[in-house]
Amino acid sequence: MKRILLALVIASATMLSFNSCTKEYITNNEFLPGVSFYEDLLGGSAWRPVSGTANLFEQTISIPELNDVVFEDGHVSVSIGTRASDGIQEFTNIPSPGPIGGFTYGVRYGIGRVIITVSSPSGTVPGAQVAKIVLTTADIGN
């Protein structure tokens, strides 16, 4: 009985020692590519008044890469930042949870363009800023 038990222990140890482990790496090659743009928003008269709406202004940014595929099935994300001597310190996503520097921003877009709107209770417009626009493509889900 002891010999059989010893033989089983040796056989089990041998099986475990000859068993090799292999690592398997799973990579997802189906990522959703995107592209980002930094566009200067000029201050002052570059903000055009929106007809029929008091204290609402807009600037249109031409983005030829915003084609019908991105428009219909992708995503457009816009953030606002201010340039400083040492670069851009912070971006705030639009829409934001509250006013940014006393201004309320909005975004709408169409093929080839992004329109940024700003609302100001006092009727003033912001100074020069930077818009970060990110276009992300996506697969059709339906």
Give tens-digit pLDDT for 59-82: 999 999 999 989 998 999 999 998
Q: Let me know if residue 42 belongs to a domain.
A: yes
Q: How high is the pLDDT of residue 71?
A: 92
Domain count, the chain: 1
Indicate the SS3 state at residue 107: strand
Query: What pTM was estimated for this model as a whole?
Result: 0.73
The percentage of the chain sitting over the pLDDT mark of 90, rounded to a whole number, equals: 45
Tens digits of residue pLDDT in 9-18: 676 666 656 5
Q: Does residue 13 belong to any structural domain of this protein?
A: no
Q: Does 66 map to a domain?
A: yes
Cα 139 to Cα 30, 32, 59, 74, 116, distances in angstroms = 10, 8, 30, 8, 27
Residue-range definition of the domain harbouring residue 106: 34-136
Chain centroid, CA 85 distance in Å: 25
